[in-house]
């Protein structure tokens, strides 16, 4: 099933300047610290890619640097997202950043002593990527804690600007630093830059939230429920499909750019840094144009335009033999990258309620880096077998085809649905003791519907089924009484009594509107609800 609804009209939120988020001090401090840390990260990425071309110049081996960086996101983002929804996000991020600093310093020591080999370089890239994977869902899920809801889209756009400011500065600075201070210097700067983030997190004190009345979810159960939510959240699914279609093909220019700089243009680390910086500069320029383009085109057409721009840059990089053309191609790639990434990120954010935000964002990160990992490996292999131009041209064709194949999956451009908890379900009445872990629980809802409204009622129930499953039900159905016309019984199951109580906290204001609409089909004031708990047999 696909999401085929039309794009919503543009709102004041989608037209807002990305700079409005900087009115909030906490956002400004955290944003500045992450830009500093990301500059260090991009210096490391540029230095590690260039170092690998010196240690082992085979295209597949060089592309494995990108694989080692991306693969941890694919492997670890899902459990990381579950942790982000369970634990204190701020403390969790502080711990992860300390661990990342230790790994970064260890890699700097090996490079400084001249002991780094290709395997060790890939290992440390993987370890740093693993730390980033555990941090990524928590970083993205704290954005709504830094700004009010009406400034969320602006904050996401500002974060995109920050990432690309660091992308513009970091690689170019890395190339210069390598030339002046040696290959080890960017590795040391990466380690030191993490202290900016640690300091900002120690300073930040998020506003107190509603005290939890239920114990936190268990990790494995939280992961399962996160997957179930993603399966039945059509807006999230649409965004993930569009993400695969873009990132898989866009990964080609990231993975092969060191070889374009070294082999096609015969440049050094300074040129590689300049090309990466051109991508970042293009992304910054794209961020300034983003709101106007989004107002004019809407999120779907803007993502398609960004994908076409990426295809153009891939064709240019496949044909390039001059520095000027390569720089122009990278600039176009950067503009296109931010146009797609910012819209996909907003679409994910507005599709998720707070209780599952970390897990939903982890799904996005997993798809992002899974597609980047698989694509990088494929384009590296194609370049080894058929040459750099063939790999770039194949990726460009695939990107264009992906637009047509995924066009029916529509993106969201604004928070048009209120996903705050409605808290309108009444507490269940208990006549027996119910242990928290006891289950499964069978909930039934009885409706009496006029015969001429039967089909409309069942269509509305189909939408309700997705709500029940998104919030934790693992089975759902609706039954029609054969002996009494118009009598329907909805049934759904959850794993335990505690999990059903969590459902009460997960129902959103948007869900409440849909549920109230279904109740209008019912002849009485309220449908009859029963809770059936799996019986405990005597020993």
Contact 376, 66 (CB under 8 A): yes
What would be the CATH architecture of the domain defined by 14-205+221-405?
A: Up-down Bundle (1.20)
As a whole number of angstroms, the distance between CA 404 and CA 397 comes to 12
Mean pLDDT over 103-111 rounds to 91
Instruction: Work out the angle at residue 181's Cα, subtended by the Cα atoms of residues 179 and 184, and round it to the nearest 5 degrees.
Output: 100
Pairing of strands 441-448, 528-533: antiparallel
The pLDDT assigned to 519 comes to: 81
Mean pLDDT over 243-259 rounds to 89
Assign 432 to helix, strand or coil.
Answer: coil
The most confident of 56-70, 203-217, 275-289, 449-463, by mean pLDDT: 449-463
The pLDDT assigned to 524 comes to: 67
The pLDDT assigned to 106 comes to: 92
User: Of 408, 72, 77, whose CA–CA distance to 237 is shortest?
Assistant: 408
| Sign of CA pseudo-dihedral 371, 37, 285, 62 | negative
pLDDT band, residue 219 (cuts 50/70/90): confident
Question: Which of 26-40, 283-297, 319-333, 487-501 bottoms out in mean pLDDT, i.e. has the lowest?
Answer: 283-297
Contact 353, 275 (CB under 8 A): no
Q: What is the pLDDT of residues 366-375, one digit of tens each?
A: 888 788 888 8
Output the six-digit token pair for 333: 């790639």
As a whole number of angstroms, the distance between CA 237 and CA 241 comes to 6
The DSSP secondary structure of 393-406, one letter per residue, reads HHHHHHHHHHHHHT
Contact 434, 533 (CB under 8 A): yes
As a whole number of angstroms, the distance between CA 5 and CA 492 comes to 27
Mean pLDDT over 518-524 rounds to 77
Tell me the pTM: 0.76
As a whole number of angstroms, the distance between CA 529 and CA 99 comes to 50
As a whole number of angstroms, the distance between CA 401 and CA 245 comes to 9
As a whole number of angstroms, the distance between CA 215 and CA 267 comes to 58
Sole residue written with tokens 């994908």: 307
pLDDT band, residue 18 (cuts 50/70/90): low
Mean pLDDT over 242-258 rounds to 90
Output the six-digit token pair for 126: 């993987």
The DSSP secondary structure of 456-472, one letter per residue, reads HHHHHHHHHHHHHHHTT
Question: Which of 289-293, 295-299, 465-469 bottoms out in mean pLDDT, i.e. has the lowest?
Answer: 289-293
Domain with CATH 3.30.70.100 in the chain: 441-533
Domain with CATH 1.20.1250.20 in the chain: 14-205+221-405
User: Of 189, 191, 161, whose CA–CA distance to 97 is shortest?
Assistant: 191
pLDDT band, residue 7 (cuts 50/70/90): very low
The pLDDT assigned to 268 comes to: 66
Assign 489 to helix, strand or coil.
Answer: strand
Given a cut of 80, whether residue 528 has pLDDT beyond it is yes
The pLDDT assigned to 211 comes to: 59
Average pLDDT, the chain: 84
The pLDDT assigned to 481 comes to: 92
Given a cut of 70, whether residue 57 has pLDDT beyond it is no
Output the six-digit token pair for 274: 């300049």
pLDDT band, residue 171 (cuts 50/70/90): confident
Given a cut of 90, whether residue 275 has pLDDT beyond it is no
Output the six-digit token pair for 248: 């898989």
The pLDDT assigned to 62 comes to: 73
What would be the CATH architecture of the domain defined by 441-533?
A: 2-Layer Sandwich (3.30)
> Which residues make Cβ contacts (< 8 Å) with residue 183, sequence separation at least 6?
47, 50, 51, 54, 111
Contact 171, 276 (CB under 8 A): yes
As a whole number of angstroms, the distance between CA 420 and CA 2 comes to 25
| Sign of CA pseudo-dihedral 268, 271, 275, 281 | positive
Q: What is the pLDDT of residues 155-167, one digit of tens each?
A: 777 777 777 677 6
CB atoms within 10 A of CB 506: 21
The pLDDT assigned to 11 comes to: 45
Contact 526, 472 (CB under 8 A): no
The pLDDT assigned to 13 comes to: 44
Q: How much of the chain, in percent, has pLDDT values that exceed 90?
A: 26
The pLDDT assigned to 522 comes to: 73
């Amino acid at each position: 099933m696909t999401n085929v609804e039309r794009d919503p009209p543009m709102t004041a939120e989608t037209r807002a300047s990305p700079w409005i988020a900087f009115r909030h001090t906490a956002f400004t401090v955290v944003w500045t610290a992450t830009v500093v840390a990301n500059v260090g990260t991009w210096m490391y990425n540029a230095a590690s890619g260039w170092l690998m071309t010196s240690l082992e110049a085979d295209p597949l081996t060089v592309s494995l640097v990108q694989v080692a960086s991306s693969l941890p996101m694919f492997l670890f983002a899902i459990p990381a997202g579950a942790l982000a929804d369970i634990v204190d996000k701020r403390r969790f991020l502080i711990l992860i950043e300390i661990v990342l600093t230790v790994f970064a310093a260890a890699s700097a020591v090996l490079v400084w002593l001249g002991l780094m080999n290709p395997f060790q370089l890939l290992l440390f890239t993987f370890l740093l990527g693993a730390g980033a994977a555990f941090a990524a869902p928590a970083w993205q899920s704290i954005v709504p804690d830094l700004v009010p809801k009406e400034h969320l889209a602006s904050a996401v756009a500002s974060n995109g600007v920050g990432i690309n400011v660091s992308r513009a500065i970091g690689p170019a600075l890395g190339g210069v630093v390598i030339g002046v201070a040696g290959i080890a210097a960017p590795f040391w700067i990466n380690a030191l830059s993490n202290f900016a983030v640690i300091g900002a997190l120690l300073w930040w004190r998020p506003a107190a939230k509603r005290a939890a009345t239920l114990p936190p979810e268990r990790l494995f159960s939280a992961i399962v429920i996160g997957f179930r939510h993603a399966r039945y959240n059509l807006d999230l699914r649409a965004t993930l499909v569009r993400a695969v279609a873009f990132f898989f093909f866009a990964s080609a220019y990231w993975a092969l750019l060191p070889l374009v700089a070294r082999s096609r243009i015969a440049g050094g680390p300074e040129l590689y840094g300049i090309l990466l910086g051109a991508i970042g500069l293009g992304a910054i320029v794209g961020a300034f144009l983003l709101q106007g383009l989004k107002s004019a085109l809407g999120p779907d057409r803007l993502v398609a335009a960004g994908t076409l721009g990426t295809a153009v840059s891939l064709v240019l990089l496949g044909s390039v033999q001059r520095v000027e053309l390569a720089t122009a191609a990278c600039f176009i790639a950067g503009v296109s990258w931010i146009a797609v990434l910012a819209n996909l990120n907003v679409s994910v954010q507005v599709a998720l309620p707070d209780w599952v935000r970390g897990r939903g964002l982890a799904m996005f990160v997993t798809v992002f880096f899974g597609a980047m990992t698989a694509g990088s490996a494929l384009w590296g292999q194609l370049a080894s077998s058929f040459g750099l131009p063939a790999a770039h041209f194949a990726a460009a064709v695939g990107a264009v085809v992906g637009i047509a194949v995924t066009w029916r999956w529509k993106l969201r451009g604004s928070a048009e649905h209120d996903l705050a908890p409605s808290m309108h379900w009444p507490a269940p009445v208990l006549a027996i003791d119910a242990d928290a872990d006891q289950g499964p629980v069978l909930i039934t809802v009885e409706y009496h519907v006029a015969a001429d409204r039967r089909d409309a009622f069942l269509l509305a129930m189909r939408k309700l089924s997705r709500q029940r499953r998104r919030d934790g039900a693992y089975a759902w159905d609706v039954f029609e009484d054969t002996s009494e016309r118009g009598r329907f019984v909805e049934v759904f199951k959850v794993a335990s009594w505690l999990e059903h109580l969590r459902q009460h906290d997960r129902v959103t204001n948007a869900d409440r509107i849909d549920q109230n609409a279904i109740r209008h089909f019912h002849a009485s004031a309220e449908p009859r609800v029963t809770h059936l708990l799996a019986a405990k047999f005597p020993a």
